[in-house]
Amino acid sequence: MDVRVFDGKAAASKAAFNVIKDAMGNGIQTLGLATGSSPVDLYNDMTSSDLDFSKMTSVNLDEYVGLDTKNDQSYHYFMNEHLFSKKPFKQSFVPDGQAADIEQAAKDYDQIIEEHPIDIQLLGIGRNGHIGFNEPGTPFDEGTHKVTLTQSTIDANARFFEHEEDVPRYAISMGIGSIMKSKQIILLAFGEDKADAIKATVEGPVTEDVPASVLQNHDNVIVFVDEAAASKLS
């Protein structure tokens, strides 16, 4: 894996931005996108640039089940807020968490990925090594699927909702199999609480216990980290 260590999140994000910019110069068509705090600086770089995404397609990793897209906790909302409202793409796909049949929506999403092969997939990483909503133990070959959120995730999300019963119990996520089909993967990780996950991902055994360790099996991954996230690498 190509691990690049930077003095801070801003510098790492700028370097990741430059990889995307160069790839756009080479005619890539589809970007895979993530939510969360890790890509926010990169999205700011994208929105403040003169790059034109209006001929490109974007495909997001995941969404909660049952949240209205206007709910400020939904990933649709996040993407509009941070990127799409400022830099529209020709078309942007985010998994449909409001579908009546989530299993069917997951199959449809894999069809979308099939029709729009992802040139570069952006990923963040959880402290336990999750990517997308693929928690430890998720089979490596799975496509897009419905995920039952763990009680600890539900508890952690509760602070964002007025009523405990409004906290989503399920999500829909690209699977590890879908992620691995991307031609290139950019993983972003910042801060000390990502250091163990980065060490296990880069230097540990490839195991379903650490979902991101599967990236060792992909031949075009760049890991952009700050010094804190890199601090446990040997």
Q: Report the side by side order of strands in the sheet with 170-173.
A: 62-64, 170-173, 145-148
Q: Containing H/E element for 78?
A: helix 75-79
136 contributes a contact to ligand F6R by CB under 6 A: no
Of the ranges 91-99, 124-132, 138-146, 223-231, which one interacts with ligand F6R (CB under 6 A)? 124-132
Binding residue (CB under 6 A) for ligand F6R from 45, 62, 96, 226: 62
Q: Containing H/E element for 16?
A: helix 9-25
Q: Give the shortest CB-163-to-ligand F6R separation in angstroms.
A: 23
Strands 62-64 and 170-173: antiparallel
Task: Please identify, using beta-carbon distances, which residue of 22 and 148 lies nearer to ligand F6R.
Answer: 148
Catalytic residue among 130, 134, 145, 226: 130
Of the ranges 101-109, 119-127, 153-161, 209-217, which one interacts with ligand F6R (CB under 6 A)? 119-127
Closest CA to 208 of 176, 170, 161: 176
Binding residue (CB under 6 A) for ligand F6R from 130, 168, 185, 199: 130
Q: Rounded distance, CA 174 to CA 160, Å? A: 24
Catalytic residue among 41, 45, 63, 135: 135
Q: DSSP letters of 96-136?
A: -TT-S-HHHHHHHHHHHHHHS--SEEEE---TT--BTTB-T
- In the bound complex, which residue of the shown chain has the CB atom lying closest to ligand F6R? 124
82 contributes a contact to ligand F6R by CB under 6 A: no
Strand runs (DSSP E) across the chain, as ranges? 2-6, 30-33, 57-60, 62-64, 91-93, 120-123, 145-148, 170-173, 184-189, 221-226
Q: DSSP letters of 38-52?
A: TTHHHHHHHHTS---
Q: Give the shortest CB-27-to-ligand F6R separation in angstroms.
A: 26
Binding residue (CB under 6 A) for ligand F6R from 12, 24, 46, 61: 61
Does the annotation count 135 as an active-site position? yes
Does the annotation count 60 as an active-site position? no
- Amino acid 13 reads S
Binding residue (CB under 6 A) for ligand F6R from 13, 35, 138, 184: 35
Catalytic residue among 44, 71, 80, 128: 128
Catalytic residue among 41, 45, 62, 96: 62
Active site residues: 62, 128, 130, 135
**Residues contributing to the site for ligand F6R (CB under 6 A):** 34-38, 61-62, 124-126, 130-132
